[in-house]
Structure 1
Amino acid sequence: MKNISKTFSGVRALNDVSLNVKKGEVHALMGENGAGKSTLMKILTGIYQPDDGEIVLKGQNVRFAQPLDAINSGISIVHQELNSILDMTIAENIFIGREPSKRLGIANKKEMRSKTIELFKMVDMVINPDRKLYELSVAEMQMVEIVKAISYNADIIVMDEPTSAITDREVAKLFEIIRKLILQGKAIIYISHKMDEIYTICDTITVLRDGSYIDTKSAQQLDQQQLISLMVGRNLEDMFVKQPSPIGERFLEVKNLSLNGKFTNINLQVRKGEILGIAGLMGAGRTELVEAIFGVRKIDSGEIYIQNQKVVIDSPQKAIKHKLSLVTEDRKLFGLNLNFTVKENITLVNLKRYVRLGQIIKFKEEREVTDRQMKFLNVNASSRNTMVETLSGGNQQKVVLAKWLLCDPDLLILDEPTRGIDIGAKSEIYKIINKLANDGKAIIMVSSEMPELMGMSDRIIVLHEGTITGQFNRDEFNQESIMMCATGIKK
């Protein structure tokens, strides 16, 4: 890609950017959210058209008017934002637009199902190809997208945050597949905010910043601190700024909590000022557990105690009443209304506070509280009336946090709080979490990133197939031991 430029509504998204990718290499494309990585890849895959510049593929100038042109030229992509069609099956999603057919053009569903099963064997997963996408977790949907991209047998595969929702076991399997693809002469363009992945799998690194090309170097030539400096234009202090916070009285206790097919006999407690981490592989029941605590899912048995008082939480409304808040794993599907402004999203849960006579919004108070929350969380938006869908992932996540912090919760549940956001925004969110703990908030944090979990937590519990297989205090943290518990080998 040579001298690519792209402007949206007068805003320069890419300015004279070049990218050279070789056959048989894994090429990392790095930069903060808003650096232009996804825009550049959407141009490569025919979703956008460049204003200037050219694409040269195997020595020939090409121009892709639509995504199908790129696919037919041997380019496929795993998108950062999941593009699954929720009412269709796994098999139908993977083969949409290229279904194997019988005579008269009738789709051969039997062949489509068997091919889907074979594709998932590559990633060491046994699935029912007839499951609808809305039945899947975010992690399972991510694996469907990965399998779909591989199924095209493309020469270039773009992987835009392919591991943002999957755990270490699935990541390891993906890396095995990438290595096999490289041996076949494929080229992989790999976008990730996870530094350990970049240095594990990538050969070459290209850095973008603010829509401009910065540098390309061998991964061996760049250490992590140098790479961060190129990405953000400044040095970041230690990512995990965990400071010991005073641990107070027990706020939440869960006794023998069970949900059929999801988790069994879960016992846990979290104190004020404590960060309790929850580790586990995909399908371990982590999200289901925190959703049950918050009343999104109805438990089959067990008890929940808030400050030593037994409570019934069978809806999010009751959870909020008991001073609980939940930052969901998928912020775009469950955490935000993308068609609302920053202000409307921040005040949504607490709108009753800013209404008089039952229906008239007190706009001045709403504006004032929004501005305070935006300032406290350093939300980077042109104004409170900016549409939230236009913000970077990190700023969208801050809006979700602002919404829930406005409830003044005593327990904040964070499910994958830094999923798909850049390293600078991660650092800011870690500082916010630390401040909340120091202010005496109890925090439960689910994360698939082991360095994040170990760096931020006071204690970690580990789930495997819906049961707790290990518990670790901070001075006992050991990645190998935690992973043994996550795979079912008890500590």
Structure 2
Amino acid sequence: MQPAVKLVNVSKTFVGNVRAVDSISIELDPCKIIGIVGPNGAGKSTIMNIVAGYLFPDAGEVWVNGLPVVDFHQAINVCGVVKVDQHPNLAPHLSAAQHLAMLQPTFRPSKTLIPRAEQLLRQLGVDLDLDLRTEDMPIGHLRAFEIVKALLQCEILRSRGLRPVLILDEATNFLPVSQKSVLKQHLRKLVADGYTFIMVSHDLPEIIDVADEILVMVGGKIRTRHQTAGLVVSSLVKSMFDTEVGEKIVSAANVVGNAEAMVLEDFQVRDDRGNIVVNGLTLRVFSGEIHGVAVFPGTGEKELVESIFGLRKLERGRLTIFGQNIRNPSVQLLRKMGVALLSDDRIRDGLLTDGSVYDNLTLGLSDKYTRGGFIIDTKRRTQLAETLIREYGIVTRGLKEPITNLSGGNMQRVYIARVLGRDARILLALHPTTGLDPMGSSLLFQKISELRSKNLTVLMFSPNIKEMMIICDRVSVMRDGKIVGTFIPAQTSVESLGMILSGVQ
């Protein structure tokens, strides 16, 4: 049987003589799930964009299902390639139903795909109104819909006799474990029907569990190729970084104070549709503490953080920060009090996408490079940006490089560097390691450790219980819009917290 994907000496160099893909030749077998991992900036998304016809290689040949890839439209309609991009890529003002209608363009918008989409979403456990505009969807629901839309597109191609090749470029990042498990089972069934899947991910345990084989990319090349049977995470990490990435990042001893940095009492918050998603939530965070909240993405955690930070109306409740009752939270007041927000959606919330690396690193940090608050010291501003690039390991061709030219992980590093560079007293972090490779996650936690020695308090939300058990002093579980328990990591287990989060216990 011919390869699903065949690359022959494929290379791609961007402006500035940066070689993102370096003479890759490889064949990928059909009817398999293939994982691709590697450090931030390794060229993973670039090579996938070449396979999907988004980019043209400078040299080499790209074949899918025995046919040469010529351009984007031909890659889909003739070769059978469908791709879910690394970042949400939908028209923000169109509804989910309108996006589905475009998969079968007719004189009148078709609704024939809606029942099937609703069925797939129900299987994933996603309650989504398809008439909702995509810009109004929580990031977890948005990503789930993009995956379902791609699966429907593949079904259309399969009905025409093509063998779909579906690329999922970090598409499962914001899906909870339960949805990932359902998706894995669905993909396995489709493999038996002639589908091939290529998954790019930084979640190494997930990719080992899902894939048949894994390719490790480093510096634009395929460094190693692994069968997943018997494969362990440490082997992948060693292939990616030539070193081990330790799990124990932070020692919590003698850091947490007795004073309460932030208290949330009886919070009630609505989402954009008017539904109550936080109801009766109470939480206490101590000074100097790294407090984790285990939560499934898209279940009220973002609305909660937005209400704390003054971005969303607090329907009911009391907020106290450093002993001061905050009656009407506002962004200006919270920032003045030293509260910083690290959003889960770096594209929509965290970055100036029309700006450069320089702009995005120094935005909001003018107190560090102005004299008297008005006169910009260009030398100090440049030094600040260069320092952040060095400290956070950001891979870029220069300060003036457009931010969107960076890999997703390096864009995340820019955002994190700027937020942590504000010398905040409290950090609100939504899914902070999403998009980061293991080394990037380790670096983030090391920076947090350094900053909390300067009295930083952290409240982070994530579905990654294992990660929080390593980094956090305490871990609370948020379910059904409230905190259902708070635990000390040494006195509980990942399995126990997972059961509580899932409502089993």
For 1:41, the aligned partner's letter is: M
For 2:30, the aligned partner's letter is: K
Structure 1 partner of 2:186: 177
Structure 1 partner of 2:262: 252
The 3-state SS of whatever aligns with 2:83 is: strand
The 1:358–1:203 alpha-carbon spacing in structure 2 relative to 1, beyond 3 Å, is: closer
2: CA distance, partners of 1:358 / 1:166 = 43
Structure 2 partner of 1:309: 324
Structure 1 partner of 2:110: 108
The 1:124–1:397 alpha-carbon spacing in structure 2 relative to 1, beyond 3 Å, is: closer
2: CA distance, partners of 1:313 / 1:354 = 31
Instruction: Give the deviation of 1:107 after TM superposition.
Output: 1.7
Instruction: Give the deviation of 1:356 after TM superposition.
Output: 5.6
Q: Structure 1 residue 51 and structure 2 residue 58: aligned?
A: yes
The 1:479–1:223 alpha-carbon spacing in structure 2 relative to 1, beyond 3 Å, is: closer
The 3-state SS of whatever aligns with 1:262 is: strand
1: CA distance, partners of 2:391 / 2:13 = 31
For 1:171, the aligned partner's letter is: K
The 3-state SS of whatever aligns with 1:18 is: strand
Instruction: Give the deviation of 1:69 after TM superposition.
Output: 3.2
Of 189, 192, 200 in structure 2, the residue corresponding to residue 191 of structure 1 is: 200
Of 351, 357, 360 in structure 2, the residue corresponding to residue 345 of structure 1 is: 360
Of 67, 72, 77 in structure 2, the residue corresponding to residue 66 of structure 1 is: 72
The 1:221–1:478 alpha-carbon spacing in structure 2 relative to 1, beyond 3 Å, is: closer
The 3-state SS of whatever aligns with 2:455 is: coil
* Aligned residue runs from structure 1 range 107-146, under 5 A: 107-109=109-111, 111-146=112-147
**How many matched pairs?**
483
The 1:364–1:72 alpha-carbon spacing in structure 2 relative to 1, beyond 3 Å, is: same
Verify the 8 A CA contact 2:86 2:408 in the aligned structure 1.
no
Q: Structure 1 residue 461 and structure 2 residue 470: aligned?
A: no
Of 429, 435, 438 in structure 1, the residue corresponding to residue 450 of structure 2 is: 435
The 1:119–1:277 alpha-carbon spacing in structure 2 relative to 1, beyond 3 Å, is: same
The 1:126–1:379 alpha-carbon spacing in structure 2 relative to 1, beyond 3 Å, is: closer
2: CA distance, partners of 1:19 / 1:116 = 34
Verify the 8 A CA contact 2:295 2:463 in the aligned structure 1.
yes
1: CA distance, partners of 2:251 / 2:439 = 19
Structure 2 partner of 1:238: 246
Verify the 8 A CA contact 1:16 1:212 in the aligned structure 2.
yes
For 1:315, the aligned partner's letter is: S
The 3-state SS of whatever aligns with 2:142 is: helix
The 1:19–1:189 alpha-carbon spacing in structure 2 relative to 1, beyond 3 Å, is: farther
2: CA distance, partners of 1:51 / 1:398 = 28
For 2:108, the aligned partner's letter is: I
TM-score (norm. length: structure 2): 0.89
CA offsets 1:36-60 (integer angstroms, 9 cap, x no match): 21111111111112222223334x3
1: CA distance, partners of 2:325 / 2:70 = 61
Of 20, 24, 31 in structure 1, the residue corresponding to residue 31 of structure 2 is: 24
Of 200, 212, 226 in structure 2, the residue corresponding to residue 217 of structure 1 is: 226
CA offsets 1:344-391 (integer angstroms, 9 cap, x no match): 223322336645687542323323333343444343434444433233
Q: Structure 1 residue 33 and structure 2 residue 40: aligned?
A: yes
Verify the 8 A CA contact 1:272 1:437 in the aligned structure 2.
no
Of 74, 83, 91 in structure 2, the residue corresponding to residue 85 of structure 1 is: 91
Q: Structure 1 residue 158 and structure 2 residue 159: aligned?
A: no
Structure 1 partner of 2:161: none
2: CA distance, partners of 1:57 / 1:397 = 32
For 1:322, the aligned partner's letter is: M
* Aligned residue runs from structure 1 range 263-302, under 5 A: 263-302=278-317
2: CA distance, partners of 1:371 / 1:47 = 32
CA offsets 1:229-270 (integer angstroms, 9 cap, x no match): 2222x1123134222241112211111111131201111111
Instruction: Give the deviation of 1:282 after TM superposition.
Output: 3.2
Verify the 8 A CA contact 1:19 1:206 in the aligned structure 2.
no
> Considering only aligned residues, what root-mean-square deviation do their CA atoms show, in Å?
2.2
Give structure 1 stretches of 5+ with no counterpart: none
Verify the 8 A CA contact 1:45 1:67 in the aligned structure 2.
no
2: CA distance, partners of 1:160 / 1:281 = 21
CA offsets 1:161-219 (integer angstroms, 9 cap, x no match): 12111111211111121111122231111111111112211111112210112222211
For 1:179, the aligned partner's letter is: R
1: CA distance, partners of 2:418 / 2:185 = 40
Give structure 2 stretches of 5+ with no counterpart: 1-5, 158-163, 271-275
**What percent of counterpart residues are identical?**
27
The 1:237–1:421 alpha-carbon spacing in structure 2 relative to 1, beyond 3 Å, is: closer
The 1:243–1:95 alpha-carbon spacing in structure 2 relative to 1, beyond 3 Å, is: farther
For 1:65, the aligned partner's letter is: D
1: CA distance, partners of 2:471 / 2:80 = 42
Of 296, 319, 335 in structure 2, the residue corresponding to residue 320 of structure 1 is: 335
The 1:136–1:96 alpha-carbon spacing in structure 2 relative to 1, beyond 3 Å, is: same
Verify the 8 A CA contact 2:245 2:439 in the aligned structure 1.
no
CA offsets 1:319-365 (integer angstroms, 9 cap, x no match): 10111000110112111112223332233223366456875423233
CA offsets 1:8-48 (integer angstroms, 9 cap, x no match): 22322211212322222111112112212111111111111
Of 367, 374, 384 in structure 1, the residue corresponding to residue 382 of structure 2 is: 367
Verify the 8 A CA contact 2:100 2:114 in the aligned structure 1.
no
Verify the 8 A CA contact 1:161 1:193 in the aligned structure 2.
yes
Structure 2 partner of 1:228: 237
The 1:278–1:137 alpha-carbon spacing in structure 2 relative to 1, beyond 3 Å, is: same
Verify the 8 A CA contact 1:45 1:71 in the aligned structure 2.
no
